[in-house]
Homo-oligomer: A and B are copies of this chain.
Amino acid sequence: MAEQKMVNGVNVTELFNTIDLIKKNPDIAKFKFRATNKWINGTHNRATIKDFYGALKEDNSRKPMVYELDEPPVLLGKNEGSNPVEYLLVALSGCLTTSLVAHASAKGIKIKGVQSRYEGEIDLRGFLGISEDVQVGYQNIRVYFKIDADVSQEQKEEMIKMAQKYSPVFNTITKSVPVSVQLDK
């Protein structure tokens, strides 16, 4: 068995093996991720993540992961969980971080720590239907990274550029992605 090169907890040997396999058969890279949601009451609902399709097969091996969504009282909820636009920031934070760490690891850059904070502005006149001129979604999101690694400031700047370039959630938010919504027949 070949020795596995680990950088920052990322198995870089396996990462490069995967890339080689995908170059031979691009279908390996085609993934389908899924969620289900059940309304509970008012602004409270519950999402579940479990199965996905990827690397040419269905994966049903994970236990269900359940997430409560609700609004704070000022938005008519009861704080049963974070609200949907906050979960979007959770998604963005995880994706930029993983993208940063994976691409730095592939380059052999050792990281001691990565922290980041996120702030998104939203004008709820859009959601409430008060004004058609107001954007319904986030108007903008600002992200600040702290990277602890023995590299230059320029290399840290390069790391956050790579994070943005390769992060699926960042690219889903900053570009326009089609979402079809229909009644289940």
Contact = CB atoms under 8 A, between A and B. Distances in A.
B121 A98 contact: no
A49 interface: yes
A181 to B, nearest CB: 4
Interface string A38-70: 110111110101001011000101100101010
Given A45-B98, A59-B72, A23 B130 contact: yes
A5 interface: no
A98 B40 CA distance: 10
Interface in A87-115: 87-99, 101-103, 111, 113-115
A76 to B, nearest CB: 6
A60 to B, nearest CB: 11
A179 interface: yes
Interface centre among A67, A94, A164 (most CB of B within 10 A): A94
B85 A136 contact: no
A55 B13 CA distance: 51
A143 B181 contact: yes
A116 B31 contact: no
A183 interface: yes
A138 B153 CA distance: 31
Contact of A140 (B119, B140, B180): B180
Contact of A94 (B9, B47, B138, B163): B47
A139 to B, nearest CB: 7
Contacts of A41: 8-9
